[in-house]
């Protein structure tokens, strides 16, 4: 599917998922579902202390809540992430723990609880091959856990460096490089230069002095190739970064990320979520209740790539949009979660008579 900037697109609301009794913080599409006749599955987590598992099934192809994961976390569940194999769901909570849930024939069983952070765990992320897990907390630390046989998780390292609350951790989509973003306005990049992944250290800090954000960095996301990254912030901007990942993949050492461009003047309240689709569309969700989509502009600027807004969906929700996530399989589907307690499934559709190929 090619996106020409001049084309007319809209986000069509497919379904509104209701059930959570408090704000919905975060969403995760199960990466192994939605193909080969397996119905798509989406997980959501909320201030109501529960996680809900939604499935699109039945002749009407509508979404239903298949399971509620409760009575494990005692406070807000802030973030959730599926393992690459799709069998495990990790959930991070303000109760200072991270829970690991295993899908056993459609039932979800809490098989492990990761303890160690001093207070709220804000985010959890699996690495690309599912052998490691990262968590972060208001205690300013980032922890890396190794997945051991028998649902055991061993803390490999505790990374200190942020001076404040760490809002999100995210592994690179192809390499074992970890990114964290924080209330201290920075993004930190962590990697290990030895094969055993033991010497983890911070190899780059992206702050305001090197074109970084001037307030809390809430989230970041990578393009499909992994050579570009987008970050979003309380400073009302989105920033796009790139790095020479070929150099890193060939083992020539670390290649730093550098600033490509800043998208400002769009959202007028905190941008909480950003997600880059496999087809190159950046979605952002913010406290202005709106969702915006951006694509790389084909203007052929000599200053390198630039990005343009493809569309904006005002009042996408009645309240703040906390999470936007593209389906990893059906590339036109976007899910969003909000303070209004609902989740919405959107379809990106063309409004012109020409059909998108």
Which residues are at the interface with another protein (CB under 8 A)?
A: 23, 47, 75-76, 78, 94, 119-120, 122, 138, 165, 167, 183, 215-216, 234, 269, 287, 289, 318-320, 339-340
Minimal distance, residue 99 CB to another protein, in Å: 17
Specify the residue, 23 or 292, whose C-beta has the smaller distance to another protein.
23
For 23, phi then psi, to 5°, come to -60, 145
Q: Is 118 exposed, middle or buried (0-12, 13-18, 19+ CB in 10 A)?
A: exposed
Return the closest-CA partner of residue 163 out of 143, 138, 145.
Answer: 138
CA distances from 253 to 56, 160, 211, 213 (A): 44, 22, 23, 26
- On whether the CB atoms of residues 219 and 272 are closer than 8 A, the answer is yes
Three-class secondary structure of residue 275 per DSSP: strand
Minimal distance, residue 242 CB to another protein, in Å: 29
CA of residue 203 relative to chain centroid, distance: 22
Three-class secondary structure of residue 208 per DSSP: helix
Minimal distance, residue 6 CB to another protein, in Å: 31
Minimal distance, residue 98 CB to another protein, in Å: 16
Minimal distance, residue 318 CB to another protein, in Å: 5
Specify the residue, 56 or 186, whose C-beta has the smaller distance to another protein.
186
Specify the residue, 287 or 333, whose C-beta has the smaller distance to another protein.
287
- On whether the CB atoms of residues 285 and 293 are closer than 8 A, the answer is no
Tokens of 27: 């969403």
Specify the residue, 76 or 277, whose C-beta has the smaller distance to another protein.
76
Minimal distance, residue 244 CB to another protein, in Å: 34
Specify the residue, 142 or 348, whose C-beta has the smaller distance to another protein.
142
Rounded Cα distance, 79 and 97, in Å = 11
Minimal distance, residue 94 CB to another protein, in Å: 5
Specify the residue, 39 or 116, whose C-beta has the smaller distance to another protein.
116
Minimal distance, residue 227 CB to another protein, in Å: 30
Specify the residue, 296 or 320, whose C-beta has the smaller distance to another protein.
320
Strands of the 228-233 sheet, one edge to the other: 217-222, 228-233, 238-242, 258-263
Three-class secondary structure of residue 61 per DSSP: coil
Specify the residue, 70 or 193, whose C-beta has the smaller distance to another protein.
70
DSSP string, 93-162: ETTS-EEEEEEETTEEEEEEEE---SS-EEEEEE-TTSSEEEEEETTS-EEEEEEETTTEEEEEEEE---
Q: Beta-strand (E) ranges in 21-73?
A: 24-29, 41-46, 51-57, 62-69
Specify the residue, 120 or 227, whose C-beta has the smaller distance to another protein.
120
Three-class secondary structure of residue 294 per DSSP: strand
Tokens of 34: 């939605």
Minimal distance, residue 75 CB to another protein, in Å: 5
Minimal distance, residue 213 CB to another protein, in Å: 13
Specify the residue, 76 or 103, whose C-beta has the smaller distance to another protein.
76
């Amino acid at each position: 599917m090619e996106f020409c900037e001049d084309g007319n697109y809209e986000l069509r609301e497919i379904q509104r998922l209701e059930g959570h009794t408090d704000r919905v913080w975060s969403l995760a599409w199960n990466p192994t579902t939605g193909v080969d006749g397996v119905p798509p599955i989406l997980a959501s987590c909320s201030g109501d202390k529960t996680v809900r598992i939604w499935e699109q099934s039945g002749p009407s192809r509508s979404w239903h809540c298949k399971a509620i994961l409760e009575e494990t976390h005692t406070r807000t569940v802030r973030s959730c992430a599926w393992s690459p194999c799709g069998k495990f769901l990790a959930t991070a909570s303000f109760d200072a723990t991270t829970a690991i849930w295993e899908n056993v024939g459609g039932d979800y069983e809490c098989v492990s609880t990761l303890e160690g952070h001093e207070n709220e765990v804000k985010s959890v992320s699996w690495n690309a091959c599912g052998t490691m897990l990262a968590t972060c907390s208001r205690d300013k630390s980032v922890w890396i856990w190794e997945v051991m046989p028998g649902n055991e998780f061993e803390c490999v390292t505790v990374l200190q460096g942020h001076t404040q609350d760490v809002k999100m951790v995210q592994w690179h989509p192809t390499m074992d490089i970890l990114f964290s973003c924080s209330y201290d306005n920075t993004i930190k990049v962590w990697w290990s230069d030895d094969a055993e992944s033991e010497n983890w250290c911070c190899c780059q800090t992206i702050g305001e002095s090197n074109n970084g954000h001037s307030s809390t960095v809430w989230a970041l996301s990578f393009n499909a190739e992994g050579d570009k990254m987008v970050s979003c912030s309380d400073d009302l901007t989105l920033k796009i970064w790139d790095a020479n990942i070929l150099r890193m993949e060939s083992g020539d050492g670390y290649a730093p990320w550098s600033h490509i461009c800043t998208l400002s003047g769009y959202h007028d309240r905190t941008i909480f979520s950003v997600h880059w689709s496999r087809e190159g569309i950046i979605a952002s969700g913010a406290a202005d209740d709106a969702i915006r989509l951006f694509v790389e502009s084909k203007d052929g600027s000599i200053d390198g790539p630039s990005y343009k807004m493809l569309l904006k969906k005002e009042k996408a929700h009645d309240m703040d949009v906390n999470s936007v996530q593209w389906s990893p399989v059906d590339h036109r589907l976007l899910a969003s979660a909000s303070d209004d307690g609902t989740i919405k499934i959107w379809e990106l559709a063309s409004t012109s008579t020409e059909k998108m190929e």
